[in-house]
Structure 1
Amino acid sequence: MPVIEKDRDILARTLWGEARGESTAGQIAVAWTVRNRVEDGKATSWWGEGYAGVCQKPFQFSCWNKSDPNYAFLIGIKRIPFRELSQARIAADQVIDGKVPDPTGGATHYYATAMPKAPIWARDAKQTLKIGGHIFFKDVP
């Protein structure tokens, strides 16, 4: 599936919504989680199709939930600061273009350490990386 400008924009906005306080390395890890879902090898993926489809799949990346305070920024009602969106765009482009390796070891999930407790799905999953305020997992049942 070809990557179009919309995919790049939606991935960058997702990185801003999910990981704007992280380093570039932390944003790259989140972007790889999306890419791992995009490239899951299934003809029709449960995750959604392409970067935009995966990012905007309902209830997968909370920043796209209509009740999330980031949502108004992501859809353009409020303006994302240029510098912050530019950093996210750099991370998105590096991952989409394959310029950086996957630091997550194939993770398809993560959660923010700021959450009061770990999600139930993390209990039986394999932790692959902790970077900044996120913990990454694969083999989620």
Structure 2
Amino acid sequence: MTVTEKDRDILARTLWGEARGEGLAGQIAVAWAIRNRVDDGKLKSWWGEGYSGVCQAPYQFSCWNKNDPNYAYLSGAMAIPFRELAQCRGVADQVTDGRVPDPTGGATHYYAIAMPKAPAWAAKARQTLKLGGHVFFKGVP
């Protein structure tokens, strides 16, 4: 699959919105969960096509919801701090180019532990990794 500059930019911005406080390992895990969705040909109609399509699909990553406080930064209305975005761009490049292995074991979903309660889908899925503030899953119905 060809990865465009737009794909890389949207993935980096999504990583900033979803995992900027997680450090490098957590950002890599979130990027892999996104890549696993991109690579899952069966569900493209639901998740979108390519990195930008998957990241910006409605109701998939809350940082892209217009009422989310991160949205102003992701949309470009406010500037993301240069160093933070540069790290996310580096992670996006490493994951899309396959230079780092998937630490999630094929996860396509995750949620933040800080959420008041786990999403309903987590009860029927297989947990693959707990890292930092996120729990990762695959086999989500």
The answer to whether TM tops 0.5 is yes
Structure 1, unmatched stretches of 5+, are none
Match for 2:14: what amino acid? T
After TM superposition, where is structure 1 displaced by more than 6 Å over at least 4 residues in a row?
A: none
SS in 1 for 2:136: strand
Structure 2, unmatched stretches of 5+, are none
Partner of 2:3: 3
RMSD: 1.0
Deviation at 1:43, TM superposition (A): 8.1
Identical aligned pairs, as a percentage?
Answer: 77
Deviations 1:59-112 (A, max 9, x none): 100000001000000011001000110111111110000000100000000000
Equivalent pair of 2:37/2:108 in contact (CA under 8 Å): yes
> Which structure features the higher share of helix residues?
2
How many residue pairs match? The answer is: 141
Deviation at 1:18, TM superposition (A): 0.2
| Distance in structure 2 (CA, Å) of the matches to 1:41 and 1:56 | 17
| Distance in structure 1 (CA, Å) of the matches to 2:46 and 2:67 | 23
Call closer, same or farther: CA 1:44–1:128 in 2, change over 3 Å.
closer
Q: How does 1:82-97 map to 2 (within 5 A)?
A: 82-97=82-97
Deviation at 1:51, TM superposition (A): 0.2
SS in 2 for 1:80: coil
Equivalent pair of 2:14/2:63 in contact (CA under 8 Å): yes
